[in-house]
């Protein structure tokens, strides 16, 4: 373990892949995201199977407000871009720029979460509660699982920013930043599918 | 590096086992816990057979019978079979690929403890007086809040979710290990067949278990938070549960059987003293079985009413699986053909496996025919079929693997006489129990029913079946006696304990030192160790000089994280959200600690390596 490798100022070019531990972490994380893909795939399937069973609750077409969802989508997509900038800064060993981009990322993530909480609150006011119908249960489970992933990502990246302040950028901390960025892109991709399958398809039928 | 050596507290005794991240010790923990649950599941099976020994009996009562059959299936699959497979994986895979540990030792420990506490939670239902009773498949709406208002199914959904985390972590860990940590020269097409099987099994775990997790979460939401996934009255769809369960459930069958195929391949090849016949076709067949395994789930649902097109397609896809499986059977036979076969206990279990599994496979193809399945469905024919593949396949494979690798795991040879007694009692007991059940099914005896009327032609065969179950119980007890008497003997197994070892695990001492390989070996071909022996060498060619070896530190956090989930599970179940919050806080708190405090590990210096750091 060359946790002290940076002490003499020589951080390798790809610090996240410099050690076997780092390479294992990145590979293992990709495999974990494979499992997450199946998890969300199943949630999507359940939603698609149940989305027409609205019972007495509001219909998706009258419930969803596309402008706000579109704003949330743009915020999340932008946060993916800023996390790319953070990883580029990591590769150039620009610790300060990296931290700044990570902060922008979690601020955008929090903005997204704020909009989502407002959206859910609004839906409940309109009689679309978790227990209203099979549609509502599967809607809140799918979108809520995604929201929980965003919340976890915000806390995780926040924690990593703290660690970078304390420990600096090393071959131990670099893989953590890198996998958190992969994670963030993943939840972004999931959202693109939610936007399409839940909101756009909900509007047209 | 010595200048950077960190001092790490090394524990002894019980604390050593609670904090270990060593794959060899975790393998032993999986074996002990898995075998414990195997005994519980076996006891449940014996009670079921006592109840069914004669017509119109009321030994355990109908409610208890439903609980017994549910817990028997759930325990055997999730808490006995899979952990015993994980035991073999942990004990053998890093050794077979020339690695010093798995990719994620900490997660390995976490996987064990989550499995263990999930299993304990599920089984505590017996003491809570609310036992799952909707079958191991927990079909909605029988398992939903309307028709099952007690806490029984809550234990099922929460226990399996916690145990499932451990399984998923194990799958990811072994995939990453096999991809990233192979010794120099050990290309994929030189991997031992057991390693290949575990690699593919791990991929199945990674892509199948999340489906079950979603199903369990949805059912839990239905039960605890009044969601409507599977409740038809509020727009839910109970057939959705069947789909979700079997999209997971069918790959699960291959998660169970592929490792057994791997064990049998290694054992047959070792004790025939021959290279495995058709190695590359074996690899291809394994991959193909796994791939097709995801495309056949609806053959469990032929009678649900999906229509002739769906039934036809799933019928054909299912029959296709017989082709790669047949390739494997013939490869084993051709490996045995012309070999100088040694009839050790391990090889007897392997040889007994082949015809038994073929019988299970043949009834599988019979069941794959949708029109015929309408006759077999929910009868004892199905019970006979899946016990032939799971007990006759998987459990024989596990017994073969345990007898084969026991000296490598513990440094002591199991007694061959007692081993052969285990084989014959278990083998004969197994066929006595389940062979007649084919005919009981064809005569129309329904499965999952607590009793039957006399004079339908069921009486004698049920009695035979019960006698067979007792014989299997005796076989298991003989195995336990063997284990305990072996315990008392000196640890004198040699590194190449069977003298015919072919793969890397036999090139190092039994049991291996903490760091497995003093020097990472250089692999020069398939059956790496056999190749060196045939060239007259007594050890592997090293791929690195002797040096300081880096080891991960032990940690108590995995245990505490799992206890946190265990507490949270009870909190959710009994609607004590504060308790649930405390449990989750413990788990996430440990995650936080793990992230904030780096594990620097420690080093074993060359001068300490010769002292033979014991397991």
**Number of independent structural domains in chain A:** 1
CB atoms under 10 Å from CB of B15, counted, come to 13
Q: Crossing angle of helices B105-128/B152-180, nearest 10°?
A: 160
pTM comes to: 0.95
Is residue A6 included in any domain, yes or no?
no
Section A187-202 average pLDDT: 96
Is residue A7 included in any domain, yes or no?
no
Residues of chain A with C-beta less than 8 angstroms from the C-beta of B235:
50, 53-55, 133-135
Distance CA B486, CA B484 (A): 5
Residues of chain B with C-beta less than 8 angstroms from the C-beta of A36:
210
Please report how many Cα atoms fall inside a 13 Å half-sphere around the Cα of residue B94, on the Cβ side.
Answer: 27
pLDDT, position A4:
42
pLDDT, position A13:
84
Is residue A1 included in any domain, yes or no?
no
Fold assignment, B2-555+599-609: Cytochrome C Oxidase; Chain A (1.20.210)
Q: What percent of chain B has pLDDT over 90?
A: 95
Section A18-40 average pLDDT: 96
Please report how many Cα atoms fall inside a 13 Å half-sphere around the Cα of residue B170, on the Cβ side.
Answer: 32
CB contact under 8 A, A131 and B175: no
Q: Is the pLDDT of residue B613 over 50?
A: no
Is residue A110 included in any domain, yes or no?
yes
Is residue A176 included in any domain, yes or no?
yes
Long-range contacts for B586-594 (Cβ within 8 Å, ≥24 apart)? B586/B560, B586/B561, B587/B561, B588/B564, B589/B564, B590/B557, B590/B560, B590/B561, B590/B564, B591/B561, B592/A159, B593/B557, B594/B106, B594/B555, B594/B557
What's the pLDDT tens digit per position in B549-570?
999 999 999 999 999 999 999 9
Is residue A130 included in any domain, yes or no?
yes
Residues of chain B with C-beta less than 8 angstroms from the C-beta of A27:
103, 176, 179-180
Is residue A86 included in any domain, yes or no?
yes
* Coil, helix or strand at residue B569: helix
Boundaries of every domain in chain B:
2-555+599-609
CA distance A132 to chain B (A): 8
CB contact under 8 A, A141 and B221: yes
Section A180-197 average pLDDT: 97
Is residue A24 included in any domain, yes or no?
yes
For residue B56, give the nearest of B458, B345, B544, B404 by alpha carbon.
B458
CB contact under 8 A, B225 and A24: no
Chain A with chain B: Cβ pairs closer than 8 A: 121
Mutate to test the interface with B, among A23, A28, A29, A151 (most CBs of B within 10 A): A28
Residues of chain A with C-beta less than 8 angstroms from the C-beta of B207:
34-35, 38
* Residue A141, domain extent: 14-204
Q: Which helix (H) or strand (E) holds B604?
A: strand B602-604
Looking at chain B, which residue has its C-alpha nearest residue A1? B600
What's the pLDDT tens digit per position in B501-514?
999 999 999 999 99
CATH of the domain at A153: 1.20.120.80
Q: How far is the CA of B352 from the CAs of B57, B265, B285, B356, B427, in angstroms?
A: 34, 13, 21, 6, 8
Distance CA A153, CA A131 (A): 27
Q: Is the pLDDT of residue B10 over 80?
A: no
Please list the residues that pair with B550 across neighbouring strands.
B603
Q: What percent of chain B has pLDDT over 70?
A: 98
The greatest distance separating any two alpha carbons of chain A, rounded to the nearest whole angstrom, comes to 68
Residues of chain A with C-beta less than 8 angstroms from the C-beta of B225:
130-131
What's the pLDDT tens digit per position in B151-161?
999 999 999 99
CB contact under 8 A, A136 and B228: yes
Question: By the 8 A CB rule, do B49 and B429 touch?
Answer: no
pLDDT, position B429:
98
CB contact under 8 A, B206 and A131: no
Interface of A to B at Cβ within 8 Å reads 1, 3-4, 20, 23-24, 27-28, 31-32, 34-36, 38-39, 42-43, 45-46, 49-50, 53-55, 130-131, 133-138, 141, 159-160, 163, 167, 172, 176
Distance CA B268, CA B333 (A): 9
- DSSP percent split of chain A into helix, strand, coil, nearest 5: 80, 0, 20
| Radius of gyration for the alpha carbons in chain A, expressed in angstroms and rounded | 20
Q: pLDDT-based confidence at B7, cuts 50/70/90?
A: low
ipTM above 0.85, yes or no: yes
CB contact under 8 A, A1 and B229: no
């Amino acid at each position: 373990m060359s946790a002290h490798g940076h002490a003499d100022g020589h951080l390798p070019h790809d610090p996240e892949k410099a050690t076997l531990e780092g390479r294992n972490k990145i590979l293992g994380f990709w495999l974990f995201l494979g499992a997450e893909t199946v998890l969300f795939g199943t949630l999507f399937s359940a939603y698609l199977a149940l989305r027409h069973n609205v019972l007495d609750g509001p219909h998706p077409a009258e419930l969803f407000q596309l402008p706000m969802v579109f704003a949330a989508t743009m915020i999340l997509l932008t946060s993916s871009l800023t996390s790319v900038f953070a990883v580029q800064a990591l590769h150039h060993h620009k610790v300060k720029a990296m931290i700044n981009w990570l902060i922008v990322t979690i601020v955008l993530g929090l903005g997204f979460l704020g909009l989502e909480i407002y959206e859910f609150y609004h839906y409940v006011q309109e009689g679309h509660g978790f227990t209203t119908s099979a549609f509502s249960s599967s809607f809140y489970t799918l979108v809520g699982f995604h929201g929980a992933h965003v919340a976890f990502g915000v806390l995780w990246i926040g924690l990593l920013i703290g660690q970078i302040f304390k420990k600096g950028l090393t071959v131990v901390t670099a893989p953590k930043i890198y996998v958190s960025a992969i994670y963030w892109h993943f939840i972004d991709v999931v959202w693109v599918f939610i936007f399409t399958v839940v909101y756009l398809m909900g509007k047209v039928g | 590096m010595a200048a950077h050596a960190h001092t790490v507290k090394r524990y002894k005794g019980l604390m050593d086992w609670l904090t270990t991240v060593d794959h060899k010790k975790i393998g032993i923990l999986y074996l002990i816990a898995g075998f414990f649950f195997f005994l519980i599941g076996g006891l449940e099976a014996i009670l079921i057979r006592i109840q069914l020994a004669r017509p119109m009996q009321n030994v355990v009562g109908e409610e208890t019978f439903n609980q017994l059959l549910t817990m028997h299936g759930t325990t055997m699959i999730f808490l006995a079979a899979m952990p015993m497979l994980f035991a073999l994986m942990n004990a053998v895979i890093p050794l077979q690929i020339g690695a010093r540990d798995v990719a994620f030792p900490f997660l390995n420990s976490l996987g064990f403890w989550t499995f263990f506490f999930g299993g304990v939670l599920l089984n505590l239902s017996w003491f809570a007086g609310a036992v799952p009773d909707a079958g191991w498949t927990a079909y909605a709406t029988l398992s939903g809040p309307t028709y099952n208002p007690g806490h029984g199914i809550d234990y099922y959904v929460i226990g399996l979710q916690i145990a499932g985390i451990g399984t998923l972590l194990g799958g990811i860990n072994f995939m990453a290990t096999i991809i990233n940590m192979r010794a120099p020269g050990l290309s994929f097409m030189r991997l031992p067949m057991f390693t290949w099987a575990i690699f593919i099994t791990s991929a199945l775990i990674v892509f199948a278990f999340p489906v079950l997790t979603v199903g369990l979460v949805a059912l839990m939401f239905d039960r605890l938070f009044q969601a409507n996934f599977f409740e038809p009255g509020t727009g839910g769809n109970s057939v959705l549960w069947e789909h979700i369960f079997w999209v997971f459930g069918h790959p699960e069958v291959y998660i169970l059987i592929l490792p057994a195929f791997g064990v049998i391949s290694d054992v047959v090849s070792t004790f025939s003293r021959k290279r495995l016949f058709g190695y590359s076709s074996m690899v291809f067949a394994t991959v193909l079985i796994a791939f097709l395994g995801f495309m056949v789930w609806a053959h469990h649902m032929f009678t649900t009413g999906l229509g002739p097109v769906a039934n036809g397609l799933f019928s054909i896809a299912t029959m296709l699986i017989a082709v790669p499986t047949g390739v494997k059977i013939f490869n084993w036979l051709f490996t045995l053909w012309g070999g100088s076969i040694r009839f050790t206990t391990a090889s007897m279990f392997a040889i007994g496996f082949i015809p038994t599994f073929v019988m299970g496979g043949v009834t599988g193809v019979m069941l794959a025919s949708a029109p015929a399945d309408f006759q077999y469905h929910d009868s004892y024919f199905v019970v006979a079929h899946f016990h032939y593949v799971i007990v006759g396949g998987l459990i024989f494979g596990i017994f073969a693997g345990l007898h084969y690798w026991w000296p490598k795991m513990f440094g002591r040879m199991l007694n061959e006489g007692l081993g052969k007694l285990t084989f014959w009692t278990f083998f004969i007991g197994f066929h006595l129990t389940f062979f007649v059940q084919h005919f009981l099914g064809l005569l129309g005896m329904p499965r999952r029913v607590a009793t039957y009327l006399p004079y339908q032609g069921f009486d004698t065969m049920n009695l035979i079946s019960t006698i067979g179950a007792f014989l299997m119980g005796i076989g298991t007890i003989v195995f336990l006696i063997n284990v305990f008497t072996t315990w008392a003997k000196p640890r004198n197994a040699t590194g190449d304990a069977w003298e015919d070892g072919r793969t890397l695990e036999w090139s190092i001492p039994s049991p291996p030192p903490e760091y497995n390989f003093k020097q990472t070996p250089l692999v020069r071909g398939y059956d790496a160790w056999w190749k060196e022996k045939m060239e007259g060498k007594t050890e592997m060619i090293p791929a690195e000089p002797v040096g300081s070896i880096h080891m991960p530190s032990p940690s108590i956090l995995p245990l505490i994280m799992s206890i946190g989930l265990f507490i949270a599970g009870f909190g959710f179940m009994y609607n004590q959200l504060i308790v649930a919050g405390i449990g989750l806080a413990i788990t996430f708190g440990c995650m936080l600690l793990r992230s904030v405090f780096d594990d620097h590990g420690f080093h074993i210096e060359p001068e300490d390596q010769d002292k033979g750091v014991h397991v």
